[in-house]
Structure formats: structure tokens, C-alpha cells
Amino acid sequence: MIYFDHNSTTPYSKSVKQYIQNDFVKDWHNPSSIYINSEILNQNIRSCRNTIANFLNCFSKHLYFTSCGTESINTVLSEDTLNANNISSIITSHLEHHASLNKIKYLKTKGLFVHYVKNNDQGEIDMEHFEQLCVKNPKSLVSLLSVNNETGVQTDIKRITHIAKKFDCLVHIDGVQSLGKELVDLEDLDVDYASFSGHKIGALKGVGLLYAKANFNPLMLGGGQERGLRPGTYNYPAIYSLKLAIQDLDLNMQKHVKKLRDHLEKSLNTRINGQKTERVFNTSNFYCNMSNQALVLCLAKHNIAVSTGSACNAGTPEPSQVIQMLNITSYGSAIDYARSCLRVSLAASNSYKEIDTFINVLKKHAASIVKNTSFKNRSTQLQI
Ligand code: PLP
């Protein structure tokens, strides 16, 4: 299968695969027990936390292992956490992942004030409007994506925190799509909370990470794991795999993946979302001039996996809210546009040959969006 859906989830990284094959079955003890085998796992969790803290440039005491990005986000965006910090309003955007969007919608029903910052047609946050919202709503919680999962558009989080801090706001980033795609230096970004997920970078599913420098209240009450702030028996293999996956990240492969993405986009003759602003190197989201659902199914028949946007919504025919919010009306209504955009998200394991196969399928089924070029022997002409 040609897999072009890495923003949805990723195959296991090299070391994680080796771990699953060699040691996974041995690591079944409860890390919180006091036998020697458990103590070893407990020490390993401490070492994982330190390694990850070094990678993210933060203190290990500010890191908490959770089950997924959604859990980390929900912990920050909880009534209890907001109350613990005397916060009654949230500044966010319409471009967030459903984990944030839906939780914030719920908080609104509970009486929280929610302010949505404007964005432009590239999916960039309107910084002037953001500052105005901070001026009018000091001491808010700001919650924004650092990298958009659908378009790959990056937000200048340093600028966000610089503005937000002037008005005593706390800042949470949904950093799920940042890991492995851009440098994440938490000290430098100066955020108060950040949420991450293991399965986006080659770790096992079932592990997330919460960075919390400011107070938060636990979602669950139970045992003393994670200093009582995230109780529940440790998912040791998943936590260990997160460390391995982080160690396997290779920022040098960015150039290769970006060349693949550029090769794809050079072959297209269509609107590419977020193309005129800063984007991560692996994502391409473009108008396909037909039903994206139909095209995804057609590509699946050719053994090519792509998506119409967030995987969490893949089962529902709802068009992407993110793409609708770009408000592109030159192809019909904004909703029609959203029904016709496709997301391709690449990784180092992809090749020029795969891109050419993909383009040839598009040429057959969505001809109008492909430039009229021949791909014969292209992969041999290009340096792979
Ligand atoms: N935030 C973003 C930007 C995502 O892309 C995702 C997953 O698609 C999530 C949050 C949710 O993460 P998880 O699947 O670990 O719950």
C-alpha cells in the first residue's frame, strides 16, 4: 500500500519495531509495584521522562504521561483546571482539532466565555485580532494549535505567547502535529501547557504527553501515579515506545520529504491550502475539483491511502470545518470547497515513485487538477 496519511497515524519507528519484536512481552509488570522487575520499569519511566524533557527543553517534573493527545488537551481544557487558575474565558480559533473544538463548545455550555480569533484564507491566525482579544479579555486561557493537522500551517507560537503574557493570559498549545515536524523548545516558546501524542511519531498507540508548568487539576482521581495528577496503571510499553520514537526522530529527513511534497505540488494545477504561508514539510492539502470522499475511495481501490482531513472525523461525511473556515468561495460555497479538498501527509518512507503513481491515478480520475506533464522515467531522472 502507498501510505500518504502520516498526519493521521504513523507506522512504528525502527527502534519501536525492534522493541515490540524483542522485549515487549517481557515488560508486563506493574511499574508501581515494589518487586525488582517493577522497580526496573519504574526507573525506566523516570529515564524516559528525562530523555523526553531534554528533547523538549523543559523540566521533567512538568511532564505527565497520558493516554493520548485528546486526554492531554481535555485535562487543560477542563472546568477544574480553569477554576484552579481563576480563568473564566478562553481565546481559541475555529481551526482547532476536534479534541479542542468540542471540549471548548462544551465549556461554553457551562458558562465559560469563548472568543474565536479570526484567520485568513491561508489558515493564518490574525495576530492583530488576537491582540485585541487579549486586550479585552486579560487573564484568559489561550488555546491554539502549533501546527494544523489538515493543512500543515504553522502558527508563530512565540509571537502568541509574547502577546498573551502582556495580558496575563496562560497559553496552551496543541502540539500533536509539531513533534517530529518542527523544533519544539518549550522553554523558548514560553507556553504554560502543551499536549502531544505518541502515535503521530512512530510510538505505540495509547500514550500522550502533557506538559504543564502552570496548575492543573486531574481529570480522574485514583492512585498516586504521576504524583496523583494522572492516576491509572502506567502503560509502560507505550511510554517506553514514546522515548524510543523520539530518539528515532531524524530531522535530516525533512529535506527529502519536502522534496517529495514539492514534486507532488509542482505536478498539480490547483489551489493548495496554506501554500503562501509557513507550513510543515510533509503536508499538502489541495482542491481536487470533485467529491473528496469519492476520490479517497477511488484512491483506496488503487491501494493509496490519503484522507479528507482529520482521521477522527473520517467516519462522518461532514466536510472539514478547518477548510470551510478558509472561506474560499471561488469554487462555489465554502462548504462545497471543503467537500473537495484532499490531504496528503508524507514521511521519509515515501518515494518519488509513489508520488508519480499517485499523480497518474489523479490524472485518470481528477485530470483537471494535474498539469499536463509526462512522468515516464521521472523517478530515474530525479535524484532519490
Ligand atoms: N490534535 C491534533 C492536531 C491531532 O492531529 C490529533 C490527532 O489526530 C489530536 C489532537 C488527537 O490526538 P490523539 O489521537 O492522540 O488523541
Q: Are the C-beta atoms of residues 101 and 76 closer than 8 Å to each other?
A: no
Residue 73 dihedral angles phi and psi, to the nearest 5°: -60, -45
SS (H, E, C) 134-199: HHHCCCCEEEEECECCCCCEECCHHHHHHHHHHCCCEEEEECCCCCCCCCCCHHHHCCCEEEEEHH
176 in contact with ligand 1, CB cutoff 6 A: yes
5 in contact with ligand 1, CB cutoff 6 A: no
Ligand 1 atom index nearest CA of 205: 15
Q: Residue 58's pLDDT is what?
A: 98
Ligand 1 center to 182 CA (angstroms): 16
Cell numbers for 158:
512565540
Q: Residue 372's pLDDT is what?
A: 80
- Which mutation among 77, 146, 176 tests ligand 1's pocket best, with the greatest number of atoms within 8 A of CB? 176
Q: Are the C-beta atoms of residues 66 and 49 closer than 8 Å to each other?
A: no
Q: Pick from 206, 272, 208: which is nearest to 63 by CA?
A: 208
210 in contact with ligand 1, CB cutoff 6 A: no
Ligand 1 atom index nearest CA of 311: 8
Query: Considering only CA atoms, which residue is closest to atom 7 of ligand 1?
Result: 8
- The amino acid at residue 220 is M
Ligand 1 atom index nearest CA of 96: 3
174 in contact with ligand 1, CB cutoff 6 A: yes
Cell numbers for 11:
507506522
SS3 283: strand
- The parts of the chain modelled with pLDDT lower than 50 are 375-384
Ligand 1 center to 294 CA (angstroms): 24
Q: Model's pTM, two decimal places? A: 0.95
Cell numbers for 363:
490524472
Q: Is 227 left (phi over 0), alpha (psi -120 to 50) or beta?
A: left
307 in contact with ligand 1, CB cutoff 6 A: no
97 in contact with ligand 1, CB cutoff 6 A: yes
Query: Considering only CA atoms, which residue is closest to atom 9 of ligand 1?
Result: 69
Q: What is the pLDDT of residues 7-61, one digit of tens each?
A: 999 999 999 999 999 999 999 999 999 999 999 999 999 999 999 999 999 999 9
Query: Considering only CA atoms, which residue is closest to atom 6 of ligand 1?
Result: 176
Query: Considering only CA atoms, which residue is closest to atom 12 of ligand 1?
Result: 69
Question: In this structure, how many other beta carbons lie within 10 angstroms of the beta carbon of residue 118?
Answer: 16
Ligand 1 atom index nearest CA of 148: 3
Q: Residue 314's pLDDT is what?
A: 54
Q: Residue 67's pLDDT is what?
A: 98
